[in-house]
Structure 1
Amino acid sequence: MHDDGIMLWPFGTTWRPVRQKRRGAVELRWLSARSWTRRWYPQGIDLGVWHGRRTLAVSWFRQQLDGHHLASRVAFIDLDRSRHLDVLLAVEEDGVLQPAAIHAGGLAWFDDRLFVAATGRGIWEFDLARIRRVRGADARRLAGASRHGLRGTALVAVRTRVHPIELRCSYLGRVFDDDGTPLRRVLIGEYSRDDTGRIAEFTVPATDEDSFHEQARFSPGIRHMQGAVRWGDRHLVSQSDLMHPGTLWSGPREGLVRDPTPLPVGCEDLALDVDAALLWSLGEHPWRRVIRGIPLRDLGIGS
């Protein structure tokens, strides 16, 4: 990974989430307007390595108060220091960068390639090896902000490909073997108000000429699915319930059952953290926003 002269590490910010432990779970809470704003909403989550450090990626989308999407970004959080770095997501049109106005409902991070669920518009791929810095009016425009709404500079990751998928692409999660080995596969699923949402497993394209290849598809019959990951033959699916704690469904593809472990209120995407033996989820509702890591042993996964 290179940065074209941009200082990307250590994270240069005064904002830090606070790290807490509650009954074995790890929680990160926002200590800023991020905890209550109705303009930005957190959605997707995954783990990766940035400049040699374990890093949590959380996607956000920006909207007007009427629900119109304006922009998206990813907050990269150093899990050891709890510092963060924001990177705006952008598309290039006729040589001009435009904001990636997508819901960003799920993330899958492979090396320098970040795959983002663009609800109804396939999977968008962004290049983390070529982060750009933009300033002034460009920075504000790519953040979907008014002329007085953003500091002078911003970091930007640019879309490299759109991967068409025959699903709504509401969320996106990683797949691991039963010994915790990461596979080059993802689960892509659909949020639906009824029980018709589908989840499919795909291999991740290895080259620019390759594409996502579907391996399996199923309909678990669960309303309001928000995220899915797989560990061996064990699928984990999150289900939201308005202002109530979310539900975690667990088990083989055709036999998911409710797990007693509650998920955050307004739960969204899921991510497996093999190194820390945690299942990460997050809540999107203002004033209830939390990033929660649930011990895998509490779910009967791993040793």
Structure 2
Amino acid sequence: MHLTPTPELAAEVDALATRYGGRVGLDAVAGDLDRRLRRTVAPCRTPHRAWTWDRADRRDRRWWPQGVSVEGRHAVVSWYSDTGSRVSLLDLPARRYQHVELVRPTADGHEPLRVHAGGLGWHGHRLFVAATRAGVWVCDTRDVVRGPDGYVLPVRLLLEPSEPFRFSFVAHVGEELVVGEYDNAGGTRRLGRVAAEGGPVDVLDGGVRRAQGAVRVGERWYVTASHGPRRPGSVWSGPAGRLREHRWAVPMGPEDLAYDAERDLLWTVTEHPRRRWVVAVRRSRLG
């Protein structure tokens, strides 16, 4: 299988920027965080650090947290709804955040990006958004504009698969993307590695049931798995095909997984209303 970039939507992105008075970039969002995070403790066996959202976002049943990626003091979290998708930029030390709508630019404006956004990869100016059967959308964070209803980030291109694959989640690790499939009904549970620019995908059959996110560190894989809204989730770790389960390692409803190499932390985000946390655990605790 290959991932092939589609032509960039450069003209459409430029037109969107012109319509709203020019690009402001993610730096402008970082200086305008209008919502408050709260430090808390999450229900799991692994020692951790945890944050939760403001009251409205903790309870919201229209928007569901999905993907996570971390760079330095900031994290990005993706959300999906029936009407579109968005990302939140979090300043973890300041305990503040802001939502940014994801859109697909068109010749005469833009439309909501209707994808599940089950995983995120963030590296430099690029943001990779899992798009299930379609592949992986790629944004340039310098393209953020401020519209009449808030910040907007357009996609630039799609990494399209040459063969069927369910891009349930994606992470950026080192110089590559890690991708994988969710399955709870006897289908495929594959994992994969590919260069961030696309190209041949190294596909492995080493996934687990109800996988929600994955990263690779050296030859070891780490995969989150959910057990529903009431029971804490698992992290599976080890070489592909020989993963070992760490039960109750993360809170209930874990989604995507991200690796913070600078601090050797694994990050996840949970999705269920009133049980929504952003959590960081030491990778060494999980093998």
Matched, 1:186 2:177: yes
Name structure 1 gaps, 5 residues minimum.
64-69, 136-152, 176-182, 206-210
- Of the two structures, which has the highest relative contact order with CA contacts closer than 8 Å and spacing of 6 or more? 2
SS at match of 1:265: coil
Which residue in 1 is equivalent to 2:116?
103
Q: What is the aligned-residue identity percentage? A: 33
Between 1:258-267 and 1:185-194, the stretch displaced more is 258-267
> Which residue, 40, 50, 72 being the options, matches 1:20?
40
Matched, 1:284 2:238: no
Which runs of structure 1 show a deviation greater than 2 angstroms over 4 or more consecutive aligned residues? 2-12, 20-24, 274-277
Q: Structure 1 residue 236: deviation in Å?
A: 0.2
Deviations 1:116-172 (A, max 9, x none): 00111110011211211111xxxxxxxxxxxxxxxxx31111110011123111100
Maintained 8 Å contact 2:26/2:142:
no
SS at match of 1:58: strand
Whole-Å Cα distance in 1 between the matches of residues 66 and 28 of structure 2? 27
Maintained 8 Å contact 2:105/2:111:
yes
Name structure 2 gaps, 5 residues minimum.
1-22
SS at match of 1:129: helix
Q: Structure 1 residue 273: deviation in Å?
A: 1.5
The 1:247–1:132 alpha-carbon spacing in structure 2 relative to 1, beyond 3 Å, is same
Higher helix share: 2
Maintained 8 Å contact 2:66/2:255:
yes
Provide the aligned C-alpha RMSD in A: 2.0
The 1:174–1:9 alpha-carbon spacing in structure 2 relative to 1, beyond 3 Å, is closer
Whole-Å Cα distance in 2 between the matches of residues 74 and 245 of structure 1? 25
> Which residue, 151, 154, 161 being the options, matches 1:158?
154
Q: Structure 1 residue 277: deviation in Å?
A: 2.9
Whole-Å Cα distance in 2 between the matches of residues 7 and 187 of structure 1? 29
Q: Structure 1 residue 194: deviation in Å?
A: 3.1
Maintained 8 Å contact 1:29/1:290:
yes
Matched, 1:168 2:166: yes
TM-score, with length taken from structure 2: 0.84
Q: Structure 1 residue 262: deviation in Å?
A: 1.6
**How many corresponding residue pairs?**
258
Which residue in 2 is equivalent to 1:145?
none
SS at match of 2:280: strand
Q: Structure 1 residue 238: deviation in Å?
A: 0.8
